[in-house]
């Protein structure tokens, strides 16, 4: 549940309140990345401190701390302060995610433009494809000189000629 600015002002010191005010959107959008990182670091430190104090106070109320505190002193707004600081950190993390996504989109647009501008390389023909149905495979054998039906006759004629030369 969101906390009103009046409650935030009441819960926090002036310095903490100015830190939380910087996480609201008109100001948050104008912050540069290094300033955003520094703001995140400072808010985390404050949140962790408020959370630790609230835990220690709850422990002391149960009687487990160094000294037991009374019920009136148990929570001097530290849990609420930690919650407000956590809300501020959530806003900052959302802004960082938004900026990262915008950067990735810009990179993708730039890569697409570079791809569109690039020349398409000349590619060789893809060769045979199955689009028009079955076709005869091209043969890599050398062409025959004779008709296959005459092969036996020619071979026999060669044998006879060789035998005649051998006997002569």
Q: What is the mean pLDDT of each run of 10 residues along the chain (168 residues)?
A: 82 92 92 95 95 86 70 72 94 96 96 87 71 74 75 89 92
Yes or no: say if 87 and 2 are a contact pair by the CB < 8 Å rule.
yes
In whole angstroms, what is the distance from residue 136 CA to residue 138 CA?
6
Yes or no: say if 40 and 89 are a contact pair by the CB < 8 Å rule.
yes
Alpha-carbon Rg for the chain, nearest whole angstrom, is: 43
In whole angstroms, what is the distance from residue 155 CA to residue 31 CA?
95
Q: Report pLDDT for 69.
A: 62
What global pTM score does this model have?
Answer: 0.63
Q: Report pLDDT for 132.
A: 66
The pair of three-digit structure tokens given for residue 12, joined into one six-digit string? 């926090």
Q: Report pLDDT for 50.
A: 92
């Amino acid at each position: 549940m969101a906390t009103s600015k009046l409650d935030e002002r009441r819960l926090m010191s002036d310095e903490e309140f100015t830190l939380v005010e910087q996480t609201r959107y008109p100001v948050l959008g104008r912050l540069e990345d290094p300033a955003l990182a520094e703001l995140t670091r400072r808010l985390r430190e404050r949140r962790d401190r408020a959370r630790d104090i609230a835990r220690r106070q709850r422990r002391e109320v149960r009687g487990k701390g160094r000294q037991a505190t009374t019920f009136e002193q148990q929570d001097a707004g530290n849990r609420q302060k930690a919650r407000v600081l956590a809300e501020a950190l959530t806003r900052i993390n959302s802004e960082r995610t938004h900026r990262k996504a915008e950067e990735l989109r810009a990179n993708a647009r730039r890569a697409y433009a570079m791809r569109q501008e690039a020349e398409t390389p000349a590619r060789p023909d893809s060769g045979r494809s199955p689009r028009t149905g079955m076709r005869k495979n091209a043969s890599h054998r050398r062409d025959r000189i004779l008709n296959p039906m005459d092969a036996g006759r020619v071979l026999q004629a060669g044998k006879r000629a060789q035998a005649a030369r051998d006997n002569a």
